[in-house]
Amino acid sequence: MSREAQVRFCERRGVRFPPPTLPLVMCRSKGQAVAALARLTALLADLGLEPKAAKTRIVHLTVGGEGVDFLGFHHRLVRSRATRGTGTVVYLARWPSRKAEQHARDRIQFMTMRARLAAPVEQVVQEINLFLRGWAGYFRYGNSARSFDKIRRYALMRLALFIAKTA
């Protein structure tokens, strides 16, 4: 489907446009990364767009380095722990970003706020379970066990406080 047809389709039905695509380009060297950024800038300029300077950066992934946040995940190069008879392996690990974890805490807090004390506890528990199931389904790929444990403990604490306030 051409871009024009999609624009007409969305405008006719009053549908919002999807958010812009967030590209992530991985290169082997800094020279390749600079060239890729120049090429991407040229391609976007042909479309009348430009990359946002505050969000565009070149990151050198190293073990123990800063890493990069992309699509809710934090990606970082890490070294595996040595097991008996084997050496260590360097791999790209990913887990939920701090922003994604904060969003989950904010959402749980919203679902268990004081203004909802009149709602049945079963309904609140069902909403929290539905949210956590979806959140865990998205972030299950990668090294997310610690984040899951933190969010689970936070949800239990908020739910316990909510139930205590209703009694």
* pLDDT for res 71: 85
Asked if 56 and 70 count as a contact pair (C-beta separation under 8 A), the reply is: no
Asked if 136 and 129 count as a contact pair (C-beta separation under 8 A), the reply is: no
Asked if 77 and 91 count as a contact pair (C-beta separation under 8 A), the reply is: yes
164 backbone φψ class: left, alpha, beta (φ>0; ψ -120 to 50): alpha
Q: Which residues pair with 92 in a beta bridge?
A: 77
Structure tokens at 131: 């949210």
Q: Tens of pLDDT along 101-122?
A: 999 999 999 999 999 898 999 9
* pLDDT for res 66: 86
Tell me the whole-structure pTM to 2 decimals: 0.73
Q: Tens of pLDDT along 10-67?
A: 445 555 555 666 777 888 888 998 998 898 888 888 888 888 888 788 888 888 888 8
